[in-house]
Amino acid sequence: MTLQDFSYIGGGLAGLAGLIAALIAYFQLGGLRKSVKYSNLMAIFNIEFELNRRKERLANIRTEILKEINGRDSTKLSTEEKNLLEIRNSYKKEAMEDYLNAFDRLSYFILKGKLEEDDFRLEFRDMLFDTIESDKEDFFGTGSRYRNMKKLYEKWKDK
């Protein structure tokens, strides 16, 4: 065997090693893509879970308020009951703001194309419309902090 033969064998082995390294990198990149995809899905599920958790908290506070007044007119409530209702109403407002913050964040991700709009429109359109259209506390008036929800509402209203 000549020196040239060793050179060919060495070049072939180096090429084979390079091909193997490229295949390993390709499969690792595929795994990384799957990992990022699953990570995004988990982030979406966390946003949905948080949104529903906050909505549930809001519903529980409303239920407590209704139990407290038990259908009575505000003039028939004692001073202590009125004070208790005032405190619960502040909790309700805080819970509503928490809920709207989570919903606005979700709306931002949808508007920026980070989440599939069609999938989320099917699931959250009615919730978005109910939230905005039943706003009695003027959360969505001029200068609203929930601009993304308003933009998404306008966008989905036409569809």
Pick from 23-27, 48-52, 68-72, 107-111 the range whose average pLDDT is largest. 107-111
pTM comes to: 0.68
Residue 120 forms part of a structural domain: yes
Q: In this model, does residue 74 exceed pLDDT 80? A: no
Q: How many other CB atoms are found less than 10 A from the CB of residue 128?
A: 21
78, 106, 118, 147, 151 from 110: Cα distances, Å: 47, 6, 9, 13, 11
If one counts the domains in the chain, the total is 1
Answer left, alpha or beta for residue 71, where phi above 0 means left and psi between -120 and 50 means alpha: left
pLDDT of residue 61: 85
- pLDDT tens digit string along 90-124? 888 888 999 999 999 999 989 998 878 887 888 88
Residue 3 forms part of a structural domain: no
- pLDDT tens digit string along 127-146? 999 999 998 888 998 889 99
Range of the domain at 106: 38-157
Two structure tokens written together for 76: 């028939």
Residue 50 forms part of a structural domain: yes
- pLDDT tens digit string along 144-153? 999 999 999 9
Average pLDDT over residues 58-62: 85
Average pLDDT over residues 56-76: 78
C-alpha to C-alpha distance for 25 and 67, rounded to whole angstroms? 62
Instruction: Classify residue 75 by its DSSP letter.
Output: G
Residue 83 forms part of a structural domain: yes
The rounded percent of the chain whose pLDDT value lies above 90 is: 21
Query: Residue by residue, what is the 3-state secondary structure of 83-117?
Result: HHHHHHHHHHHHHHHHHHHHHHHHHHHHHCCCCCH
